[in-house]
Amino acid sequence: MDNSTDPIWSQNELKLINEVDVFLHKPTIMKNVETRLLQLKESLAAHLAENSRSYPPGTDLVKGQIARGENHKGFPFLSLDIPQNFSKTEFFTYRTLFWWGHYLAFSLLLKGPRIPDYLKCLLKNRQQPGGEGIFVARNTSPWEWEWTEENYSSVHQIPEEEIQTVVNGIGYIKLVRFFSLAEPSFPSLDWAATGVQTYRELIALVMD
């Protein structure tokens, strides 16, 4: 048989097809992530029960939802939505996303008739200390999670007029705080405490 047209293996490919550790440890790693998300869900539900806000009708403040996928741009992920509201006319959701090889992100996604009010508060509050390290999405899709300058801008650094133009153009607000998995401090990160604190900070940016 003539194999002259077969693709040539690179040295890196040959090395990778003989490595098994990531597959052996993946179930345990994902279970660890899920456990941390469940702990965060309990902490958020307790916080929401003690702090009344003007949430859109039908917003889930108790149950939450954990979703798992194997291929978001080639990488596994786990996400938690609580509070959550995805209706035909309105979004009000706090999503925590663990994206393998990338980061842990806490995000607030808003869409619907209250956007003008949220935007007004954001413009007023964005320079407060709670806005440090928070990014606002600028991609036309609210489901774009690639952390790049094209997709996200610092709420502290982006000009006010640009925020208005971006939000009015895309029709939603998504505020995100990212924690890189490569950071030396990541192993000691308290997901539950940090998740609740970030939720409080994001809400304070868009609600008086």
CATH number of the domain at 149, please: 3.30.930
Residue 3 lies in a domain: no
Element containing residue 29 per DSSP (H, E):
helix 21-50
Q: At what angle do helices 21-50 and 191-206 cross, to 10 degrees?
A: 50
Q: If you average pLDDT over residues 82-92, what whole number do you get?
A: 92
- pLDDT greater than 80 at residue 102: yes
d(C-alpha 146, C-alpha 185), whole Å: 21
Instruction: Note whether residue 196 is domain-resident.
Output: yes
Kindly give the pairing relationship between strand 91-99 and strand 65-72.
unpaired
Nearest one of 75, 73, 41 to 199, comparing CA atoms: 41
Is residue 176 one of the residues assigned to a domain? Answer: yes
Q: Is the pTM of this model over 0.75?
A: yes
- Assess if residue 1 is contained within a domain: no
pLDDT higher at 1 or 120:
120
d(CA 18, CA 176): 37
Per-residue model confidence as pLDDT tens digits over 52-78: 777 888 899 999 999 999 999 999 999
Q: Is 2 within the bounds of a domain?
A: no
**Whether pLDDT at 131 is above 90:** no
**197: nearest Cα among 180, 179, 174:** 179
pLDDT in tens, 20-44: 999 999 999 999 999 999 999 999 9
Mean pLDDT of the chain: 94
Per the structure, how many domains does the chain have? 1
Does residue 69 belong to any structural domain of this protein?
A: yes
Contact 131, 156 (CB under 8 A): yes
Domain extent at residue 164: 11-206
pLDDT band at 3 (very low <50, low <70, confident <90, very high): low
Q: Would you say the C-alpha torsion 109, 113, 119, 121 has a positive or negative sign?
A: negative
Work out the pLDDT band at 1, boundaries 50, 70, 90: low
Count of C-beta atoms within a 10 Å radius of residue 45: 17
